[in-house]
Structure 1
Amino acid sequence: MPVTEGAAQGRVLFLITVKEERREDFLAAYEQIRHLVAEGVPGHLRDQVCQSSADPEQWLITSEWRSLEDFAAWERTEEHRDLVRPMRACFSDARSVRFHIKAETSRDTPRAGLSTPTTAG
């Protein structure tokens, strides 16, 4: 769906390295917090945890938010630090980047300027 001008939806990407011996601990820690965040953190829309097909120690967590301000507000809380501490203990390297979503495309996204053809019958 197109994102309207002025919309501040955001996506946060966490690029992390998890050594093989910590993988199960990492996944268990993620499992412990994912529903708490999805159900209780204002502005959180969805997230995914992904493992690289080329390097099993490389992971990506994508997190989509109503606004990046919602994410930043939650990140500053003690609750956030307490919830993610067990997961972060599994990282051997991590970095995050934040993006404003400007447009989104899916099968159902209408093309601008195109009308639906009709058939005469």
Structure 2
Amino acid sequence: MRARIVFLIRVPAERREDFLAAYEKIRHLVAGGVPGHLRDQVCQSATDPEQWLITSEWRELADFLAWEAAEEHRDLVAPMRECMTEARSLRFLIREETETAVPPSEETGAVVAAVVARGPS
């Protein structure tokens, strides 16, 4: 079962560029060489510029746990961790997922808005 790992972190404004540079160095190494890693994202809060979110998706939780336990992992993430004042890690198993087959366009959005405004037929 696929897993989603969520890190809620705080990065002071004066460390933002160091944090992003450290993330940039790590992300390509992980994406290209860590078994079971599927994707990741780094996100900054729209309302609190010091609040960040890193999510990663893994083929199985065991893949992430093996990576997290590896000495290589600790060495790679050390520069990122040095930029954080707070960090919280959460682990989730992905039970269901919905994907959009075609990204909605403005035209599709307008049609949906009209249908919603009109109500059920």
Give the TM interval when normalised to the shorter protein.
0.7 to 0.9
Aligned residues: 102
Task: State the one-letter code of the partner of 1:89.
Answer: E
Q: 1:107 deviation in Å?
A: 1.7
The one-character-per-residue Cα deviations of 1:21-70 (angstroms, maximum 9, x if unpaired) are 00000000000110000000000000000000000000000000001110
Write out the 4+ residue segments of structure 1 that deviate beyond 4 Å after TM superposition: none
TM-score (norm 1): 0.83
Q: 1:44 aligns with which of 37, 41, 45?
A: 37
Q: 1:104 aligns with which of 97, 106, 113?
A: 97
Matched, 1:70 2:70: no
What corresponds to 1:55 in structure 2? 48
Q: Identity across aligned pairs (percent)? A: 71
- Cα separation, 2, equivalents of 1:107 and 1:56: 29
Paired residue secondary structure (1:79): helix
Q: 2:74 aligns with which of 56, 81, 106?
A: 81
CA RMSD of aligned residues (A): 1.1
The structure in which a higher percent of residues are helix is 2
Gaps of at least 5 residues in structure 2 are: 102-121
TM-score (norm 2): 0.83
